[in-house]
Amino acid sequence: MTAGIESGTRWPTIRKDLAALTVRPNLVDYDATCAGFTWDEARRGLSGLPGGRGLNIAFEAVDRHAAGPNAEREALRFVRADGSAHSLSYAALAEESSRFAGVLRELGIGRADRVFSLIGRVPELYVAVLGTFKNASVFCPLFSAFGPEPVRQRLHLGGGRALVTTRALYRKKVAPVRDSLPELRHVLLVDAAGDPEPGTLDLAALMRDAPPYGEIAATGPEEMALLHFTSGTTGTPKGAIHVHDAVTAHYATGLFALDLHPDDVYWCTADPGWVTGTSYGVIAPLVHGVTAIVDEEELDADRWYRSSPSRRSPSGTPPPPPCGC
């Protein structure tokens, strides 16, 4: 292969027969698409906040679908290790994320305040991401496999005001460093079950009591939405800012790179603790109004590549094999 490249050999292009494909791809002619692409055209696939109040990722990903014919469509289908599944529709996801935004407001978490997560792929994570956007706060996901020091570094550098996590992760990775994080005002446990750890709050109880949030906070396209930290392999972790207008790129790449279509069921294996898992496991599929599969468990290659009749959707039909979503 190397010799062929060095000698200038050109390998034949593998072309697909478009007429034989069940669904016509969004990207048929790469050169023509590139030549005609503009960001203004990409933005026409978005809605903007009602009343010209700006641009907010959560509205583009959830609320505009919840207000239309996709309201009862599955937004997120969560699959457990035993193959059972439970889902959130776009309407339910809009409601739950608004309740989370209400929790933040009641706790005094406001515009540009940082809300961190240290949690696996469970419904509360996705609700927190979108609810944080709705409140005009900034969401910062942490990889749940981090140890106490990487967690402390990022919470300190990002100025974390609130953290969503589990009882076990709090005890193991946050409690030992809590005294060195004076800005961390609130720790919300998703599994407190009415008995939160000292210095923490029961998120489920707060969600039940949260008052209606009302309309999504007005946010400008260049307003900060996400804070992603690098892995720290080259020194102190660096925070990368993503603004609400990043949703334009999420929409465009979902269209052309992921080739998302309205009836798709889509699975992203990346963990939302990293940028790919947030951009293409949360935002892009929801912006396109498709159904996203979420595997709640950790990597198990045999399970991931097995298509089992027992793994059925709530409608009773088997979900597609992992590689065919």
What is the share, in percent, of the chain residues with pLDDT greater than 70?
92
pLDDT tens digits along 53-69: 999 999 999 999 999 99
Instruction: For residue 94, name the pLDDT band (cuts at 50, 70, 90).
Output: very high
- Read off the CATH number of the domain in which 141 is found: 3.40.50.12780
pLDDT 10s digits, 118-176: 999 999 999 999 999 999 999 999 998 899 999 999 999 999 999 999 999 999 999 99
In 121-275, the DSSP E strands lie at 138-142, 160-165, 186-189, 201-202, 224-229, 239-243, 265-267
Residue 135 maps to a domain: yes
Q: Where are the alpha helices (DSSP H) in 135-176?
A: 148-158, 167-169
Residue 198 lies in a domain: yes
Q: Say yes or no to pLDDT of 323 above 50.
A: no
303 domain-assigned: no
Question: Is 8 within a domain?
Answer: no
Tell me if 104 is assigned to some domain: yes
Residue 235 is predicted with a pLDDT of: 85
Identify the pLDDT of residue 318. 38
* Overall domain count for the chain: 1
In a domain, 322, yes or no: no
DSSP-derived pairing of the beta strands 85-89 and 74-79: antiparallel
pLDDT tens-place string over residues 265-318: 999 999 888 899 999 999 999 999 999 999 998 877 887 777 443 333 333 333
Domain-embedded: residue 16:
no
Q: pLDDT tens for residues 233-248?
A: 888 999 999 999 999 9
Strands 85-89 and 114-118: unpaired
What pLDDT sits at residue 229?
94
What's the whole-model pTM score? 0.89
Please check whether residue 177 lies inside any domain of the structure.
Answer: yes
Host domain of residue 133: 54-296
